[in-house]
Chains A and B, each alone.
Chain A
């Protein structure tokens, strides 16, 4: 194995962020408690710094460390999306952590470490590297979910997440070992070469594929590996929930794409039926169960299960169109989900979070701006034009129809129609009923910037998507399945 400085240079963003994370841990002991928000600004600076480094590396298709690590426009797209998600999360967390009295310095360090984990995931060229990334991200999330140490719910959520996560990690590793046993390699390109050989599809390979599929579906919280999602989303601090729902899902979809399209595309008809089944189940469970939720975080958790179902449909035909559709989908999804959680975490009811749907009643009268933002996010999540969510769904269904699954598109649209009900229920509560309780909205300048970013992008994605479309298409230039 030859080792050159190029390898170090290509992984500079990851190295920066790890370094800054360590610096944050030290700073935390130095910075006085009332100046903690400086740590947040420092985190944002670190992320911007890493983003600039990543943009500098853009356009290069580099296999580093003998192919263990890949820097290409595809991974860069996901990295930049994840940075943006992390920055918005930090913007939201500044006032939130203070109010919830969980403003610990290590929070920011864990955010940075989990971002590094996601970066490793999206850049992994090898299943073991990928596993390392997943674990790094997951370990950080286990801690972040349980950040409210004295809260019963948070600890329970953290514990559940940890146990089930370990369970899925075991299944995933098991799958990798099967694949390695059959092919003698665990690099993605090596697997692709092996599987494209005729006659390579021994049961052991199939079993390995199914087991890795389970690992991924757990991470994107698709049915039937979704059980952790509502409990964890509800129990975790809202800002962490938003980050998990947005960024970690995006990273999981990125590796899903890479592994299934590059490594397993040789026999895609073998796993098509599974994807169809999982996506229908996810849309059904996500949308139908969400109808009955009264807690908005649980409702959004089920909605995220439903959205995973839509996005999975794009995996059915590996071509540019569906690849583009999936990337656009996760991109739009991140902004609207983060924004929706951002509004939720700003709702305060007598010192605690207002996270019931009934807390939104009459919000339009008391805080028109927040109500309007929530309206944008809800409409976008429901897929109503002219917001980004509509175009995202449109591209997905377009790709599905082109893949020859017209009936699946019809099923998806039916579930989208059912799903519109519970999103509109929130809008109706906000706009058409008189306010009852004294729920306040705490908006700080930083939170406003975060909301402006998310709402603005959601709107622009729907009205003038051309620059984003161009960017996503350019990031697919080197990634042709």
Chain B
């Protein structure tokens, strides 16, 4: 038990030690945090191999809440799903820790940063290991909190804390639904432990609930569907699906290691993990599944269109993350949980790689993030360029890189899912094409062509390759981005994961052969890359001409479908107006007066009563005698 317990405990120790004594570390915090997280990674590998051919591990650490019929224990559950996720999370986390040593050097909050990413890693590991919904929820919130403090790492800069607030508040909306889902789960099943919920599921398949009962609504809906949808609201927030997605691109204001670890590889995938973990509930509700699938497909498509026109290197990668998350959610929605998790894992590696490489570019240019002011870096950054190229090829789904295997699997599963599945397949292929295009737009803009950056603005020295602590994680992740997909295919990861997850319905026979489907999706990627080459690979006026020709569409994409403006108009402004009203009129006017009145009344009463305390003993005796007299007469009175 101890080795498994140490997986979460080691990062937590790192957090405690660095977090409590960070003023004393003075930039040496990594000596504590980095070895601990690597140890945690090796223990995760051990846990993975222990569970590879065996049963899942389950320990109850202690009973946390034990009250009436409500029992919640803090426990560790390592089944196949958790084990493989653990390996990915700890691997990316360990490499990110290492990368941070170089990237955040000279930052004033260096040790604080290490404390928080250790805390984040701990929370994420516990989230994966939980065996009940409440434990999941606690660490779901904990990772959200860590994300908040890390986005706001440079809290002196306004965009940072604005973005942090946005992320926190948008997640709050999702978490509200999630919590409602947990409460409804408890009232329906009387338990929050996964295994017990799944065991009781068949008894409640036909239960109904009047959702709008409080408003005299009479429409009854299936409880399972309502639970599944409410829980999905949480996933929508956490995994940045439409309509709760705008926080994710803004979260790029945080330091780049955070973007790689939290906002690409791990935390944002928690929603997909949750759906896969609770797959029996989703399988029981076709309605919920189709909502999940459509949300995912829509997100994948919308995010890809937005990414086409962005200029900020990190935002491009962020929108590609959102788009890929949409893929995974869509995979879950069509019941291909295994494919979704497989894509989650490969995506964790290559997207972590892309972010870290982008960070390396930003580091080299001393903070420049606009791709239109880069270019020609391929000659200078001999390691960053090839690794980022590998990451982009993987993202574009070009064989034999990791993304090809998992993305292709999702697409072929979608194609086999009947008529609706064909629609998803078409959306998927279109998204894949756009993905390849914007990825290589980025590559060409940054690494080829003329140098468009100015030399003088960068501490007076030319752009340079990043130090070795930055490039080693890049190389490791690049290697993983190459082999992860092939390994998954070779060792049948789908069959491995299927031991823990059920599939909703039998998969039909595709009208097209496997190889034809593969060819089409690879072709989409290649075409995307070619278009990117034509437009950005060599000097041309084409982009400007196209932008002018499709002016409204271009604007629409560049302004991110006007989601932010819409939310500002519908939610933010009315809320601020209402809170100002409540503050000035109600709080200051009514409540403060009342509260101050009560306080002065109490003071006055105290002063009056204090006067009885004269210090004269005869008075004291008199009060006692009066008290006795009063008690007896009161008694006589009520008799």
**Interface of chain A residues 288 through 330 with chain B (CB within 8 A):** 288-292
A209: min CB distance to chain B, Å: 9
Taking the nearest CB of chain A, how far is it from the CB of B182, in angstroms? 23
Q: Could you tell me the distance between the alpha carbons of A185 and B31 in the complex, rounded to whole angstroms?
A: 78
Q: Which residues of A contact B627 (CB under 8 A)?
A: 214, 223-225
A-B pairs, top 4 by smallest CB distance, nearest first, are A224-B627, A227-B620, A288-B606, A292-B606
Interface bits A186-210 vs B (CB < 8 Å: 1, else 0)? 0000000000000000000011001
* Binding-face segment, A65-73, A161-169, A402-410: A161-169
Q: How far is the CB of A178 from chain B (nearest CB, A)?
A: 12
Shortest beta-carbon distance from A340 to chain B in Å: 20
In contact, A227 and B613 (Cβ under 8 angstroms): yes
Check: A27 CB closer than 8 A to any chain B CB. no
A213 within 8 A of B: yes
- Flag if B631 contacts A214 (CB, 8 Å): yes
B-side contacts of A164, CB under 8 Å: 617, 620-621, 624
By a CB distance below 8 angstroms, the chain A residues around B498 are none
Q: Which of A195-249 contact B (CB under 8 A)?
A: 206-207, 210-211, 213-214, 218, 223-225, 227-228, 230-231
Complex-state Cα separation, A210 to B602, whole angstroms: 31
Nearest A residue to B638 by beta-carbon distance?
A273
B607 and A292 contact, CB distance less than 8 A: yes
Give per-residue flags for A268-289: 1 if the beta carbon is below 8 A from chain B beta carbons, else 0: 0010011001000000010011
Please determine whether B631 and A210 come into contact, CB atoms closer than 8 angstroms: yes
**Are A273 and B634 touching (Cβ within 8 A)?**
yes
Q: Which of B572-618 contact A (CB under 8 A)?
A: 599, 602-603, 605-607, 609-610, 612-613, 615, 617
Query: Which residue in B609, B626, B630, B632 is a CB contact (below 8 Å) of A285?
Result: B609
- A274 in contact with B631 given A164-B624, A224-B624, A292-B603 (CB within 8 Å): yes
Is the CB of A171 closer than 8 A to any CB of chain B?
yes
Interface residues on chain A, size class: 20 to 34
CB-CB < 8 A to A206: which residues of B? 635
Q: Is residue A453 contacting chain B, with contact meaning CB distance below 8 A?
A: no
Given A210-B632, A274-B634, A277-B634, A291 contacting B624 (CB threshold 8 A): no
Closest to A281 in B: B627
Interface string of A128-170 (1 = CB under 8 A from B): 0000000000000000000000000000000110011001100
Inter-chain contacts of B620 with A (CB < 8 A): 160, 164, 227-228
A432 to chain B, nearest CB (A): 18
Q: Is A227 a contact of B624 with CB atoms below 8 Å?
A: yes
Which chain A residues have a beta carbon within 8 Å of chain B's beta carbons?
159-160, 163-164, 167-168, 171, 206-207, 210-211, 213-214, 218, 223-225, 227-228, 230-231, 270, 273-274, 277, 285, 288-292, 418, 421
Partner of B606, one of A211, A223, A273, A291: A291
Residue among A171, A223, A291 facing the most chain B CB atoms (10 A cut-off) = A291
CB pair B621–A167 under 8 Å, yes or no, is yes
Contacts of A167 in B (CB 8 A): 621, 624
Q: Which residues of B are found within 8 Å of A418, using beta-carbon distances?
A: 602
Q: Which of B602, B605, B619, B624 contacts A225 (CB 8 A)?
A: B624
Query: Across the interface, do A218 and B609 meet the contact criterion of CB distance under 8 Å?
Result: no
- The distance in angstroms between the C-alpha atoms of A231 and B614, with both chains bound, is 10
Q: Judging by beta carbons under 8 Å apart, are A171 and B628 in contact?
A: yes
From B624, B626, B635, contact of A218 by CB (8 A): B624
- B507 at interface by CB-CB < 8 Å: no
User: Is residue B623 contacting chain A, with contact meaning CB distance below 8 A?
Assistant: yes
Closest to A167 in B: B621
Task: Report how far A288 CA is from B606 CA in the complex, Å.
Answer: 5
A49 to chain B, nearest CB (A): 36
Query: Chain B: how many interface residues by the 8 Å CB criterion?
Result: 26
- CA of A273 to CA of B628, assembled, Å: 14
Across the interface, name the chain B residue whose C-beta is closest to A418.
B602
Q: Complex: how many Å from CA A218 to CA B638? A: 24
A227 contacts which of B607, B623, B628 (Cβ < 8 Å)? B623
B618 to chain A: closest residue by CB: A163
CA distance A416 to B287 in the complex (A): 51
Report yes or no: A230 in contact with B613, Cβ–Cβ below 8 A: yes
Query: Would A288 and B635 be within 8 Å (CB), given that A164-B617, A224-B627 are in contact?
Result: no
Cβ contacts under 8 Å, A168 to chain B: 624
Residue of A nearest to B605 (CB): A288
Closest to A285 in B: B609
Q: Which residues of B contact A227 (CB under 8 A)?
A: 612-613, 619-620, 623-624
Contacts of B609 in A (CB 8 A): 285, 288-289
Q: Which of B606, B607, B621, B630 has the most CB of A within 10 A?
A: B606
Complex CA distance for A274 and B631, rounded to whole angstroms: 7
Q: Are A291 and B628 in contact (CB under 8 A)?
A: no
Residue of A nearest to B632 (CB): A210
- Roughly how many angstroms separate A273 CA and B631 CA in the complex, as a whole number? 10
Smallest CB–CB gap between A223 and chain B, Å?
Answer: 8
**Can you list, as one digit per residue, whether each of B353-379 has a CB less than 8 Å from chain A (1) or not (0)?**
000000000000000000000000000
A460 CB to nearest B CB, Å: 16
Expressed in whole angstroms, the Cα–Cα distance for A224 and B620 within the complex equals 9
Q: Are A289 and B606 in contact (CB under 8 A)?
A: yes
Most B CB within 10 A of own CB, among A163, A273, A277, A289: A289
B605 neighbours in A (Cβ, 8 Å): 288
Query: Could you say which residues of chain A place their CB within 8 Å of the CB of B624?
Result: 164, 167-168, 214, 218, 224-225, 227
Considering the chains assembled together, what is the distance between the CA atoms of A291 and B610 in angstroms?
A: 10
CA distance A277 to B628 in the complex (A): 13
Question: Smallest distance from the beta carbon of A308 to chain B beta carbons, Å?
Answer: 14
Complex: how many Å from CA A168 to CA B619?
A: 15
CB of B566 to closest CB in A, whole Å: 41
Query: With A and B bound together, what is the CA distance between A167 and B627 in angstroms?
Result: 13
Q: How long is the Cα–Cα vector from A224 to B635 in the complex, in angstroms? A: 16
A231 and B615 contacting across the interface, CB-CB below 8 Å: yes
A92 CB, min distance to chain B CBs, angstroms = 27
Residues of B within 8 A of A224 (CB): 623-624, 626-627, 630
Q: Please, how many angstroms separate the alpha-carbon atoms of A225 and B620 in the complex?
A: 8
A328 to B609, CA, bound (A): 31
CB pair B602–A291 under 8 Å, yes or no, is yes
Taken together as a complex, chains A and B put the C-alpha atoms of A164 and B616 apart, in Å, by 12
Distance in Å: Cβ of A2 to nearest Cβ of chain B: 41
A236 to B615, CA, bound (A): 15
Bound: A164/B617 CA distance, A: 8
Nearest CB of B to A172, in Å: 11
Min CB distance A10 to B, Å, is 36
A70 to B631, CA, bound (A): 31
Known pairs A277-B634, A288-B609, A289-B613. 4 more at Cβ < 8 A? A214-B628, A224-B623, A274-B631, A290-B606
- B621→A163 contact, CB < 8 A: yes
Cα A227 to Cα B638 with chains together (Å):
27
Residues of B with C-beta under 8 A to A277: 634
Q: Report how far A23 CA is from B638 CA in the complex, Å.
A: 55
What is the minimal beta-carbon distance from A370 to any residue of chain B, in angstroms? Answer: 21
How far does the Cβ of B71 sit from chain A's closest Cβ, in whole Å?
A: 14
The complex places the Cα of A213 from the Cα of B599 at a distance, in Å, of: 34
Name 26 interchain pairs, CB-CB below 8 A, sorted by A: A159-B617, A160-B617, A163-B621, A164-B620, A167-B621, A167-B624, A207-B632, A210-B628, A210-B631, A214-B628, A223-B627, A224-B623, A224-B624, A224-B627, A224-B630, A225-B624, A227-B613, A230-B613, A231-B615, A285-B609, A288-B605, A289-B609, A290-B606, A291-B603, A292-B603, A292-B606
